[in-house]
Amino acid sequence: MYGLVKTRRFTKTSVTTSVFAGFAIALSGTAIAAERPFGLGTLATAEQIAGWDIDVRPDGKGAPIGSGTAADGEEVYAELCAGCHGDFGEGVDRWPILAGGLGSLVTADPVKTVGSYWPYASTVYDYVYRAMPFGEAQSLTHDETYQVVAYILNMSDVIDDEFVLSNKTIGSVKMPNQSGFMLPDPRPDGQLASAPCMQTCEVSTKIIGRARIIDVTPDKQ
């Protein structure tokens, strides 16, 4: 009887149900566990889901409706981004550089920027809309995001001043380093959900450089 009383916590309130449930748990705990109501949370509304569903994929899937050119983006960039990233994407003080570095990835001192390193325009859209301006994330409208992303891509000569970056064109933009990534992604957490590697995952490792060479690691005292 002790066991039955204890199960009341997990079942509906009436004593009859709890006695029944307790009996059933003794026979088949899992069946009851799956059916018991938790009474927690509410169903997410379509609007709430849309608020989280903001990823944009390389081919443009998920890109919200909107558009903008680099020419339009100059003002937004100057007002909201240049204070940290510099008028020409050169980075103020230690804030990140956004442009330049083309061709530097194969050197001992690679400069990784949106232009030199990032694989897809969609990555830039996704990141900027999700995370920038730093401290004011998700305050940009979709049109402002297209404008400012067009401006950043234009700083690295990926698109020209008049190119209309939009949900329709973003998947067609070819970034300089698009083919510089290993596909399929060999990292265990990048495996396809249909065939994830769960044990003894063989990821070949070849060290091709050391940060020490570019002198960013302080010497041991």
Which range in 10-18, 30-38, 61-69, 81-89 contacts ligand HEC by CB under 6 A?
81-89
Structure tokens at 58: 């390389």
175 binds ligand HEC (CB under 6 A): no
Identify the residue whose tokens are 């302080």: 218
Nearest Cα to Cα of residue 169 among 159, 179, 178? 159
Among 83, 180, 190, 196, binds ligand HEC (CB under 6 A): 83
Nearest Cα to Cα of residue 122 among 54, 217, 57? 57
Nearest Cα to Cα of residue 117 among 132, 143, 141, 98? 98
20 binds ligand HEC (CB under 6 A): no
Among 58, 100, 110, 133, binds ligand HEC (CB under 6 A): 133
128 binds ligand HEC (CB under 6 A): yes
The residue among 106 and 198 lying less far from ligand HEC, judged by its C-beta, is 106
Which range in 23-31, 126-134, 169-177, 185-193 contacts ligand HEC by CB under 6 A?
126-134
* Four-residue CA torsion sign, 142, 148, 150, 152: negative
Structure tokens at 120: 């897809």
95 binds ligand HEC (CB under 6 A): yes
Among 35, 107, 108, 134, binds ligand HEC (CB under 6 A): 134
114 binds ligand HEC (CB under 6 A): yes
Length of the chain (residues): 221
Cα distances from 94 to residues 36, 84, 89, 107, 185, in angstroms, run 54, 9, 12, 22, 31
Concatenated DSSP letters for 94-109?
TSPP-S--TT-TTSSS
142 binds ligand HEC (CB under 6 A): no
158 binds ligand HEC (CB under 6 A): no
71 binds ligand HEC (CB under 6 A): no
The residue among 64 and 96 lying less far from ligand HEC, judged by its C-beta, is 96
Concatenated DSSP letters for 158-175?
SS-TT--EETTTGGGPPP
167 binds ligand HEC (CB under 6 A): no
The answer to whether 213 and 108 are in contact (CB under 8 A) is: yes
Shortest distance, position 9 Cβ to ligand HEC, whole Å: 44
Residues in contact with ligand HEC by the rule CB under 6 A:
80-81, 83-85, 95-96, 98, 113-114, 124, 127-128, 132-135, 140, 148
